[in-house]
Each structure stands twice: as C-alpha cells, then as structure tokens.
Amino acid sequence: MKILVHGAGGHMGQVVCRMAEEGRYGARLMAQVSPEFSTNPINDVYSNLDAFEETVDVVVDFSNPKSTEALLNYCIEKKFPVVIATTGQTEADKSLIKQASEKIPVFFSANMSVGIAVLSEIARKVAAVFPDADIEIVEKHHNRKMDVPSGTALLLANSIHEARTDAEFVIGRHENGRRRHQEIGIHSLRLGNEAGTHEIIITNGNETITLKHEAENRDLFAEGALKAAAFLVGKEPGLYNMKDLLGNK
C-alpha cells in the first residue's frame, strides 16, 4: 500500500511516517507533504501536494483543518482515497467531506483509536440505560492543541446524543445558574505534552459510572490511521469511520 502522508512534519505525521517506513500494515511511504519541508523528490519530501505528481494508493492526513478543502480537491482530482484524521473542521468543511465521499472513498474520524470507538459505544448504551442522569465529559490534551473542545469529546457527545436526543452541549460552563437536566457539559484542559485523556461521568445522584480513556502515546492514533488506510484501499466511494473498520466486533 503506497501512501502519502499530509502534515508529515507534525507530531502525528512523523509517527505515521516512521511506522510506514517500518512497513507496518503493509504501508510503503511514497511521499511526506508538509509546509515546513522543501521539495526534494529524492528524499520523498514535498512542501505542498501539487509538487507530488506520482500515484499512491491512499493519503493519510494529520494536518490542519484549514487545508481540508484543498486536500479534498486534490484527492478527488487524483482519485486517491483519503483518511482524514485532522480535527477541528467547520460544519462547511464537514459538508465538503461528505460531498467528496460521493466521488472517492473517505475515512473520517476525530479519533483513530479503537479504544475510543468502543468507549463511544459504551457511553451511548449507559446514557440510554440512565435517561435521567447528568452527563459531563472532561478532556485533557497537550498545550499545542488548536481545537477546543477536542474532536473526540464532540464525537463522544454525539454518540451520547443518539440516546439522549433532547441533549444540548454546554461547552466550558462559565455562567451562573443551575445546570439544566438535558445538558451534556464538555470541559477542556490543556497541559504539557498530554497525548489525550477523555472521561465521561454519568450520575443519577444514587450511582455514578465513570468511563475513562487515556492515550499513553501517539502511536495508537497512527496505527489506527494506517489500519484505516489499508481498509480504504479498493473500497467504493463513501464516507467510512471507525464503526465500519470494527465491523460487528
């Protein structure tokens, strides 16, 4: 599987490139694209997508949401499947992702970890079993993170929302006044080099369930992205996510 890594100069991009160079999940690194690079085809590095003119089987993107539209246009033109792991897209960007998926296979997940996919399913079930419970989500990330709250916190909140259709998200509660019953509070901490912790607290006053996922390092996201890339190769155009990757497990 020949891959192009977009955002290759970043923290996540570097991990994906290392794993692809090691041939993990059948990957073969063909191109590293990132604005901080000077194009040098001998070393397979490119400063922008247009500088790379060869073919790959799939593109893996860990970059910046500002680049999502250009990335989609490039992948549609080249007919490259794309794994978008970048978070923080606007609603308009998300609808572009959906439109692109009518033309090419697109895998889009705010979190590439299998553990988070399972956690989101469990959170939805617990919320359904305790319809009157108060639910709060706390997320913790490194101090360089751009998007607030994390895409994963929103992914978890959206999963809970499937069971609590009247829920409204309250991001960073800061005003006086009582908590409304239907709120799902989302709180963000930004500290040091934290790889990512998500905690969901569900309580009805008599009993409390706390669900917690801690990323120990960034390898799990890169592994998930390479698994998603391998899954995407040869697929029909469509919008895929971790649920598709996990199947009936």
Ligand X SMILES: NC(=O)c1ccc[n+]([C@@H]2O[C@H](COP(=O)([O-])OP(=O)(O)OC[C@H]3O[C@@H](n4cnc5c(N)ncnc54)[C@H](O)[C@@H]3O)[C@@H](O)[C@H]2O)c1
Does 34 participate in binding ligand X (rule CB under 6 A)? yes
Residues 124-163 that bind ligand X (CB under 6 A): 144, 147
Query: Between residues 36 and 132, which has the closer beta carbon with respect to ligand X?
Result: 36
Does 10 participate in binding ligand X (rule CB under 6 A)? yes
Does 11 participate in binding ligand X (rule CB under 6 A)? yes
Residues 191-230 that bind ligand X (CB under 6 A): 221
The interface region with ligand X, picked from 4-12, 74-82, 121-129, 178-186 by CB under 6 A, is 4-12
Query: Between residues 84 and 167, which has the closer beta carbon with respect to ligand X?
Result: 84
Does 173 participate in binding ligand X (rule CB under 6 A)? no
Q: Which residue numbers are catalytic? A: 141, 145
Query: Between residues 90 and 204, which has the closer beta carbon with respect to ligand X?
Result: 90
Please state, in angstroms and rounded to a whole number, the distance separating the CA atoms of residues 49 and 17.
Answer: 16
Question: How many residues of this chain interact with ligand X, rule: CB under 6 A?
Answer: 25
Does 67 participate in binding ligand X (rule CB under 6 A)? yes
Does 89 participate in binding ligand X (rule CB under 6 A)? no
**Minimum CB distance to ligand X, residue 163 (Å):** 23
Residue numbers at the binding site for ligand X (CB under 6 A): 7, 9-13, 34-36, 62-64, 66-67, 85-88, 109-112, 144, 147, 221
